[in-house]
Amino acid sequence: MSVSTPHVVQRPSVIGSDFKRFFALAWTLAVTDWKLRFYGSALGYAWTLARPFLFFGVIYFVFTEIVGLNKDVPNYGIVILFSLVLFNFFGEATGGCVSCLVVRESLLRKVRFPRLVIPTSVILVALFNLGMTLIAVVIFGAFSGVYPKWSWFELIPIIVAFTMFAAGVGLLLSALFVRFRDVEPIWDVFTQMLFYASPLLYVASNVPEKYLDLYMLNPIATLLTATRHVAVDPNAPEPWDLVSSPELLLIPAALVVGLLVLGAWVFSREAPKIAENL
């Protein structure tokens, strides 16, 4: 053995020093969760695609054929699907993060590994799901005349921003949940509020102009408006067309970044004590 004097001082870590190990762990946990999700079902992995298909079929039919809402919005069904998929990603990532540390209690108490691995794996699973459901959306889009185009590459920064927002909120909630179990019901209600405060069942341009400045402070509203523009309808307004001055959009951007910093700070403060507080 080449080791000489003891030098590594043992403390619980947040990120750890070995990035490869961090990623291998997060990836393994995510894949395991993914496998377990459809474990025991006859169709197995086929459900990851079949489920959004069935779900979207219903939504698409209801909103384009029955409700008849937004007749003036071109391809409204596809706009809804894109928005819903992204919102579901946010909901799944944050909702999964809330209890992730408590669910993984046995690991946290018995293995030393960077604590950040666990929320990271939750977000990875949500990203897998987002990828699969986006495939379903693309297929639906092709059927209703929305074909892939170059501007879809602009979805990448949108998804990155969604991921940052979800990660910030998720880290904050997961660390708080260890101490306060009320976080879960509170967040459930809050997710519902966000659902209606975001352009999912309507488009942002429907919102009365006097509320628009306030409305667009919600990062999800901003991001979904941008999604509609780049993914479905190039004639739809960009987020900055809806607010009185484009600088106002710095606030939702600051919210995303600020929550990520706050979440990371709270998480790293709590991480060394997680194992004993569980």
Partner 1 sequence: MFVPTAAETLDPAHAAARTREPAIVVDHLQKTFRLPHRRYSTLKERVLHPFSSSTYDELHAVHDATFSVAQGEFFGIVGRNGSGKSSLLKCLAGIYNADSGSVAIAGRISPFIELGVGFNPELTARDNAMVNAIMLGLSRKQARERFDSIIEFAELEEFMDLPLKNYSSGMVVRLAFAVTVQVDAEVLLIDEVLAVGDAAFQAKCFDQFHRLKAEGKTIVFVTHDMSAIQRFCDRAMLVERGKIMSIDSPSVIARAYNELNFGQILSEGAGPRMIPDVAEIKEAWFEDADGKRVTALEHGARMAMAMEVRFHQAAEDPWFSLHVRNPARHVVFSTGSTLHLTTTGAFTAGETVVVRVELENWFSPGEYTMTPTIAASGGTDVLDVREDLATLDVHGRPLGGVVDIPHTFEVHRS
Does residue 269 interact with partner 1 by CB under 8 A? no
Shortest distance in whole angstroms from residue 1 CB to partner 1: 6
Cβ proximity to partner 1, 14 vs 201, nearer residue: 14
Query: Which of 6-14, 121-129, 222-230, 254-262 is the region at the interface with partner 1 (rule: CB under 8 A)?
Result: 6-14
* Residue 39 φ/ψ, nearest 5 degrees: -65, 135
Instruction: Give the dihedral sign, CA 262/268/271/272.
Output: negative
Does residue 149 interact with partner 1 by CB under 8 A? no
The CA distance from 179 to 244, in Å, is 41
CA angle 173, 109, 103 (to 5 degrees): 45
Does residue 36 interact with partner 1 by CB under 8 A? yes
Shortest distance in whole angstroms from residue 265 CB to partner 1: 17
Torsion of CA 111, 116, 117, 120, to 10 degrees: 160
Does residue 189 interact with partner 1 by CB under 8 A? no
Shortest distance in whole angstroms from residue 270 CB to partner 1: 11
Cβ proximity to partner 1, 72 vs 276, nearer residue: 276
If you write DSSP's letter for every residue of 112-166 in order, what string do you get?
---TTHHHHHHHHHHHHHHHHHHHHHHHHHHHTT----GGGGGHHHHHHHHHHHH
Does residue 5 interact with partner 1 by CB under 8 A? yes
Shortest distance in whole angstroms from residue 27 CB to partner 1: 8
